[in-house]
Chains A and B, each alone.
Chain A
Amino acid sequence: NAGVTQTPKFRILKIGQSMTLQCTQDMNHNYMYWYRQDPGMGLKLIYYSVGAGITDKGEVPNGYNVSRSTTEDFPLRLELAAPSQTSVYFCASRDRVETQYFGPGTRLLVL
């Protein structure tokens, strides 16, 4: 199993540009999450999904959108990138109670 994979690993965006962060898991988990982590801080939940076709907002959803058309994929869309969205983005999936498996992260720099 590859686990949770994320692409790209690193990206530089200009203010106002858009992009999609990809996340794929091969563990057949229903629950998937997107977090952002600013330097020296903990993880903040952006969006989550409890299954294909079902998504909901987390703590910091503004400026982001998600979709979940399949169990495996949970892409995160950034529209009109802003410097405040400079961060490291982690995708995770979950099996049983509170055991989340994280991807390697995407480092995003908005200039």
Chain B
Amino acid sequence: LAKTTQPISMDSYEGQEVNITCSHNNIATNDYITWYQQFPSQGPRFIIQGYKTKVTNEVASLFIPADRKSSTLSLPRVSLSDTAVYYCLVGGDNTNAGKSTFGDGTTLTVKP
């Protein structure tokens, strides 16, 4: 399973753009990159997933360079409600039964 490395914590202010980078040097050819968000006392929630280049949905963008050894989750114009822990996961299809290592994630604190 690919190991991921993320910053332990980040601070931001309301209205700013936040970029969280995840390193995954040993990513495999069939691995996807998925980000989850977790609020206190809740289970993680899917945010976005990508394989290469850029993916955008209604809540975030995911940037993946050509070598795929890292990825950046971008949250535009964060609000206080975006304060949460963000996890980067790297995993393939059914080759490893979807097992993933969550790691400790990045705690994002948005200040007023």
Contact = CB atoms under 8 A, between A and B. Distances in A.
A47 B93 CA distance: 18
Interface stretch (B16-24, B74-82, B100-108): B100-108
9 contacts: A31-B97, A44-B102, A45-B101, A50-B94, A90-B43, A100-B36, A100-B98, A102-B43, A102-B45
Interface of A: 4, 31, 33, 35, 40-45, 48, 50, 56, 58-59, 88, 90, 92, 94, 97-105
Interface residues of B, number: 25
Interface of B: 32, 34, 36, 41-46, 49, 87, 89, 91-94, 97-105
Contact of B41 (A35, A43, A59, A105): A105
Contacts of B32: 97-98
What is the interface of chain A mostly: helix, strand, loop, or mixed? strand
Contact of B46 (A43, A101, A103, A105): A101
Contacts of A94: 98
Contacts, number: 66
Interface majority SS (helix, strand, loop, mixed), chain B: loop
The 8 closest A-B pairs by CB, nearest first: A102-B43, A42-B102, A43-B102, A98-B34, A42-B104, A98-B91, A90-B43, A97-B32
Nearest to A41: B104
A99 B41 CA distance: 20
Contacts of A43: 44, 87, 102
A105 B44 CA distance: 10
